[in-house]
Amino acid sequence: MVAPHPFDTVRESEVRLASKLVKDSHPASANVHFVQIDKLDPPKNDMKKYLEIERTGGKLPSIPRVLYAYYYTEETVFNKALVNVTVGHVITKTQLPKGVCGPLLPDDLNEWEVYCNNHPAVLAEIEKLKLPAGYSVRNDPWIYATDDINEKRPLCQFFMYVAAGNGHSESNHYSLPLKFSPVFECFTKKFIRMDYLPGGFDATLVPTQPWQEVRCVEYHPDLNGEDTTARDVKPLLITQPEGPSFTVDGSKVKWQGWEFRIATTAREGFAVYNVSFKGRQVFYRISLSEMTVPYGDPRAPYHRKQAFDLGDCGFGTNGNHLALGCDCLGVIKYMDGVGIHANGEPYVIPNTVCMHEQDNGLLYKHVNYRTGNSVLARKREFVVQTIATVANYEYIINLKFVTDGSIDIETRATGILSTMPIDENVRVPWGTIVGPNVMAAYHQHILSFRIDPSIDGHKNTVVYDDALKMPKDELNPFGIGFVSDRHYVEKAGHVDQSPFTNRTYKIINENVINPISKTPVGYKVEVPPRQMILADKDSFNVKRAKFATEAVWVTKYRDHELFAAGEFTNQSKSDTGLGVWANGVDDVRNEDLVLWATLGFTHIPRVEDFPVMPVETHNIHLQPVNFFDRNPALDLPQSNNAFNKSSLFESNKTSSSSGCCKTNL
């Protein structure tokens, strides 16, 4: 088997070796319990040389593959090791301070879920429900989050639900939330306490009562009572009889002038590396960096509902097994992820990333009205998709490469709302009633995308341009003039949002001037203006996720600074990421820098979002700005029906529509 490329996904053999070396470095009595093992990114300075030789030819230097391992010893002692799996030795082993917790492992969650449901304290509460036959109790283990600076135990909160559907495995328990919620210590499985959930308009709690029968809002076709034939949906087939336009060689993908490498990762889902278009470097690395989901219901224990879907549980670890004709249409290339068991044994997460081409309407068109002749090209996109299920909720991340040199970073939120019990005839100002006696609290989804640019090289600058009206003077007598006003980001920090001056963020290379515009080459980063985190600036929600307070951040590049809220988010008390790195001190102009784009959306649930939510879609757009000397898509073949083979709707068969656009080609 050929040696892996430095950017390749971690291999099972590498995980196996790393976990063995780590276990061997501890006495058996330590009971090494792994929670995450993955590859560390290679040092950028080494990779710059490597990639240059790769480009120009010559003997490639050997860059050791280094893995990190997060694991517990003595049940609650959290450790991190770095392992060189190329030569096979443990580089460092660190015992982390008490109170620092690692990400949760799916195996553990499944085990704890069963344990919780059978714990005497929980059984006692279930007893009080006096559930009728055909009903059972389920629980979702939930991130405990933070409300006490002194809490140092790794804890887990369990939200309890009734499962109806006469034992049908897919019955929607999220429709039937219960009012008690036990807290356990992880690993030791110590019962900490029983929390109770309010059902009224305030924080008042009541002891567990016999369960009142209420209709369960089901999503599964077996149970939802819908007639799926009523819509008469006809197939719409997407085929590529001559095969796709892309090639994949290991981690290397080539499509329509785009070239990049891709790796799946435990924490991010996937990352793309060394992205170039038409032979020019544009981005060194693009990935989802972190996501926080704070809830707006102020009542205990809901005030602790703040998930970090990457840091707390691993977006890749929770990646879906994508399936042909379901998650992806067309000719599909799949990539696998790698997960681990607590003993350090790896397993394959099949098809966690899918890649395919799609048509997205027109890319450009012009008709010469004098002759009626037109030029037009279709907008073809190459989509890299991953989907993660984090308990109740699904996130779809699509990285779309476009034939005009732009990249669209798309997030789709779907799945099932996190629900709370609510009493009959009660309404609350922080949530929507989405079903009988079930409430979905207002919350925010705040994602951070890490964009590590290499616009014609690694020395880049972030600028922002405002469109400003000109003063009314002799040059502008009619008061209609406006200009673009440029500002340079000199120090690591953030840029304020300013939609009403049309503020546009750009990454430019001041060392490369566009021969046409006579201005530095660059890429625009279109981040939609959004409400940022609503929580009080002194709240734990904000202290733990500084990235959620601003839309655009710039930091100086440093190896291993990948995660916007810091390396360890589970029960974190403070942000060790952007809050630290955006220090106002580092020079970032004409430097190797990183731009962090925060994509926030405040989610006020609709009844239509239940029992399963139609996608809410949000995009960040990367677009060349005065990077090329003209439209880089002029070389696309003209669109015509000999190529696209579309057909007429019956009643049109006799119409005047020609099979091709008028052109003089």
Choose, from 309, 312, 408, 456, the residue flagged as catalytic.
309
Q: Is position 516 an interface residue for its own copies (rule: CB under 8 A)? A: yes
Spatial neighbors of 167 by CB under 8 A, at least 6 apart, are 134, 136
**Helix (H) or strand (E) segment spanning residue 143:** strand 136-143
Contact segment (CB under 8 A) with its own copies among 185-193, 558-566, 570-578, 603-611 equals: 603-611
388 to 175, 270, 349, 435: CA distances (angstroms): 21, 11, 12, 25
Spatial neighbors of 285 by CB under 8 A, at least 6 apart, are 41, 271, 272, 273, 274, 450, 452
Residue 181 to residue 247: CA distance in whole angstroms: 51
> Binders of its own copies among 633-662, rule CB under 8 A?
633-652, 655-662
Cα 80 to its chain centre, rounded Å, is 24
CB of 363 or CB of 489, closer to its own copies: 363
Choose, from 70, 71, 161, 393, the residue flagged as catalytic.
393
Residue 100 to residue 93: CA distance in whole angstroms: 15
Q: Is position 279 an interface residue for its own copies (rule: CB under 8 A)? A: no
Number of residues engaging its own copies in binding (CB under 8 A)? 202
Query: In the complex, what is the shortest distance from the CB of residue 218 to its own copies, in angstroms, rounded to a whole number?
Result: 9
> Can you tell me which of 53, 123, 124, 470 binds its own copies, judged by CB under 8 A?
470
Q: Is position 219 an interface residue for its own copies (rule: CB under 8 A)? A: yes
Q: Is position 151 an interface residue for its own copies (rule: CB under 8 A)? A: no
DSSP for 183-196, written as a single string: EEETTT--EEEEEE
Residue 310 to residue 442: CA distance in whole angstroms: 21
Query: In the complex, what is the shortest distance from the CB of residue 460 to its own copies, in angstroms, rounded to a whole number?
Result: 18
> Binders of its own copies among 488-507, rule CB under 8 A?
497, 499-502, 504
Phi, psi at 657, each rounded to 5°: -70, 125
> Can you tell me which of 95, 298, 488, 558 binds its own copies, judged by CB under 8 A?
298
> Binders of its own copies among 159-198, rule CB under 8 A?
169-170
Residue 643 to residue 242: CA distance in whole angstroms: 11
630 to 181, 375, 376, 526, 607: CA distances (angstroms): 61, 16, 16, 20, 48
Q: Is 582 exposed, middle or buried (0-12, 13-18, 19+ CB in 10 A)?
A: buried
Q: Is position 412 an interface residue for its own copies (rule: CB under 8 A)? A: yes
> Binders of its own copies among 232-251, rule CB under 8 A?
232-245, 248
CB of 31 or CB of 374, closer to its own copies: 374
- From residue 535 to residue 574, what is the string marking binding to its own copies with x (rule CB under 8 A)? xx-xxxx---------------------------------
Q: Is position 487 an interface residue for its own copies (rule: CB under 8 A)? A: no
CB of 560 or CB of 662, closer to its own copies: 662
Cis peptide before 499 (omega within 30 of 0): no
Inter-residue contact 93 to 67 (CB < 8 Å): no
> Binders of its own copies among 340-369, rule CB under 8 A?
348, 350-351, 355-359, 361-369
DSSP for 95-142, written as a single string: EPPTT--PPPPHHHHHHHHHHHHTSHHHHHHHHHH-PPTT-EEEEEEE
CB of 493 or CB of 605, closer to its own copies: 605
Q: Taking the C-alpha atoms of 308, 309, 313 and 319 in order, what is their torsion angle to the nearest 10 degrees?
A: -170
Residue 401 to residue 356: CA distance in whole angstroms: 10
Active site residue 195: no
Query: In the complex, what is the shortest distance from the CB of residue 428 to its own copies, in angstroms, rounded to a whole number?
Result: 9
Query: In the complex, what is the shortest distance from the CB of residue 51 to its own copies, in angstroms, rounded to a whole number?
Result: 23
Residue 115 to residue 487: CA distance in whole angstroms: 57
Q: Is position 511 an interface residue for its own copies (rule: CB under 8 A)? A: no
Contact segment (CB under 8 A) with its own copies among 51-59, 183-191, 266-274, 329-337 equals: 329-337
Contact segment (CB under 8 A) with its own copies among 5-13, 339-347, 433-441, 582-590 equals: 433-441
CB of 47 or CB of 416, closer to its own copies: 416
Q: Is position 276 an interface residue for its own copies (rule: CB under 8 A)? A: no
Query: In the complex, what is the shortest distance from the CB of residue 530 to its own copies, in angstroms, rounded to a whole number?
Result: 6
Tell me the two tokens of residue 639.
């669109």
Q: Is position 432 an interface residue for its own copies (rule: CB under 8 A)? A: yes
> Can you tell me which of 20, 376, 574, 590 binds its own copies, judged by CB under 8 A?
376
Q: Is position 259 an interface residue for its own copies (rule: CB under 8 A)? A: no
Q: Is position 475 an interface residue for its own copies (rule: CB under 8 A)? A: yes
Q: Is position 294 an interface residue for its own copies (rule: CB under 8 A)? A: yes
> Can you tell me which of 52, 127, 151, 226 binds its own copies, judged by CB under 8 A?
226
Q: Taking the C-alpha atoms of 67, 71, 77 and 83 in order, what is their torsion angle to the nearest 10 degrees?
A: -20
Q: Which residues pair with 521 in a beta bridge?
A: 509
Residue 643 to residue 378: CA distance in whole angstroms: 11
CB of 36 or CB of 497, closer to its own copies: 497
Query: In the complex, what is the shortest distance from the CB of residue 587 to its own copies, in angstroms, rounded to a whole number?
Result: 27
> Binders of its own copies among 51-90, rule CB under 8 A?
none
CA-closest candidate to residue 540, choices 565, 519, 513: 565
Collapsed DSSP state (helix, strand, coil) of residue 54: helix
Query: In the complex, what is the shortest distance from the CB of residue 71 to its own copies, in angstroms, rounded to a whole number?
Result: 23
Q: Is position 371 an interface residue for its own copies (rule: CB under 8 A)? A: yes
Q: Is position 2 an interface residue for its own copies (rule: CB under 8 A)? A: no
Residue 16 to residue 10: CA distance in whole angstroms: 11
CA-closest candidate to residue 12, choices 38, 33, 34, 32: 38
CB of 114 or CB of 206, closer to its own copies: 114
Q: Is position 607 an interface residue for its own copies (rule: CB under 8 A)? A: yes
> Binders of its own copies among 85-104, rule CB under 8 A?
none
Query: In the complex, what is the shortest distance from the CB of residue 232 to its own copies, in angstroms, rounded to a whole number?
Result: 6
Written in H, E and C, the secondary structure of 370-418 is CCCCEEEEEEEEEEEEEEEEECCEEEEEEEEEECCCCEEEEEEEEECCC
Q: Is position 322 an interface residue for its own copies (rule: CB under 8 A)? A: yes
Active site residue 309: yes
CB of 47 or CB of 527, closer to its own copies: 527
Query: In the complex, what is the shortest distance from the CB of residue 8 to its own copies, in angstroms, rounded to a whole number?
Result: 15
Counting every residue, how long is the chain?
Answer: 665
| Cα atoms in the 13 Å half-sphere on the side-chain side of 162 | 29
The count of other CB atoms within 10 Å of the CB of residue 502 is 12
Q: Is position 602 an interface residue for its own copies (rule: CB under 8 A)? A: yes
CB of 56 or CB of 658, closer to its own copies: 658
Task: Work out whether strand 419-421 and strand 438-441 pair parallel, antiparallel, or are unpaired.
Answer: antiparallel
> Can you tell me which of 391, 420, 489, 525 binds its own copies, judged by CB under 8 A?
391
Q: Is position 115 an interface residue for its own copies (rule: CB under 8 A)? A: no
CB of 206 or CB of 607, closer to its own copies: 607
Q: Which residues are catalytic?
A: 309, 393
